[in-house]
Amino acid sequence: MAESARAWDRIGTDIQKIRPDQVIISSESLYKPLDDGQIARLRGLLDPWFREVQVVVYLRDPVSRFISGAQQRLKIRAEFSRGSGSALREVIESFEKLGYPLDVRSFDTARTHPNGVVADFAESYLPDTARDVVIAEDTRASHAGRTVNSSLSAEAMYLMQNLARARAAIGAPLDGDAPLTSRRRAIKELDQEIPGFTRPVLRPAIAEILMRRDRSLTWVRDRYGITFDRIDYDLVGTAPDDGLDPMGEIRDVQQICEVDLARAALIERAIPRKRLARRWRRLLRGHWR
């Protein structure tokens, strides 16, 4: 909460200094169901600053969102979220309750834009001058490998999970732990360097479970006209309504996707060498300054 407050204070300071015509606030932390108190607090933050507010939500199908969320969460935690079967509807209904104009878009459709989702947003909502700057910067960041949500292979996800679990087992913190941070960074770098990198693919049985338990997809289709090509709508919502989560026992990376254990072993063996090389580079930079 304190960090969020400081971030908002910085936004306010920048607004007062620059006096912009338009402010874009983008955060995955807002993509969640909000209770009435959170909705009131959010309006209390936005209304004093802005004459007009528009909410734009890019929706991913639950299969794509699950694997993407697992990748991102395993970069900082030992476990991935198993989500729920009503998440899409709960998130959208929260934004509807905010009372601002709401535009719901398909992430899959936006991703087909030649320059990606950021360009789709910029061309739809930003003035020409800002649009060109944003697209150019996003393109440079992508080419330089500076995008935040870079993909991990299934092997890197597997190693990240094992590493975080081992550190947690000895009581080491998962935030601000220098050895853990160093090893995670080495895994991400080696994942790109060692041959055989592929994006993780959910096991078909897991994808089917996600579709069967989802009770939001037909609501999104009927209310906003959004459908997803990879979804079999004949399966949607067909899981038994018995109060049991069919994903409840799914906890390990190997349960959700195929892991090349030989490649994972290559990455793991190279971690000490990668960390040592990084330390030597730091020492040499310090020596020659």
Q: What is the pLDDT of residues 250-288, one digit of tens each?
A: 999 999 999 999 999 999 999 999 888 776 666 666 555
The total of other beta-carbon atoms located within 10 Å of residue 123's CB is 15
**Percentages of the chain per state (helix, strand, coil), in multiples of 5:** 60, 5, 35
CA distance 36 to 19: 31
Cβ partners under 8 Å of residue 153, min gap 6: 191, 196, 197, 198, 199, 200, 263
**How many Cα atoms sit within 13 Å of 88 on the Cβ side?**
30
DSSP, collapsed to helix, strand or coil, labels residue 202 as strand
Three-state secondary structure call for residue 195: coil
The number of residues making up the chain comes to 289
Average pLDDT over residues 113-140: 82
pLDDT tens string 192-209: 999 999 999 999 999 999
Q: What is the pLDDT of residues 160-185, one digit of tens each?
A: 999 989 888 888 777 777 788 889 99
- Find residue 105's DSSP bridge partners: 58
| Mean residue pLDDT across the chain | 87
Question: What pTM did the predictor assign?
Answer: 0.82
pLDDT at residue 146 in the model: 46
Averaged over 225-241, what is the pLDDT? 93
Question: What's the DSSP call for residue 113?
Answer: S
Q: What percent of the chain has a predicted confidence (pLDDT) above 70?
A: 91
Q: Report d(CA 23, CA 76) in Å as an integer.
A: 29
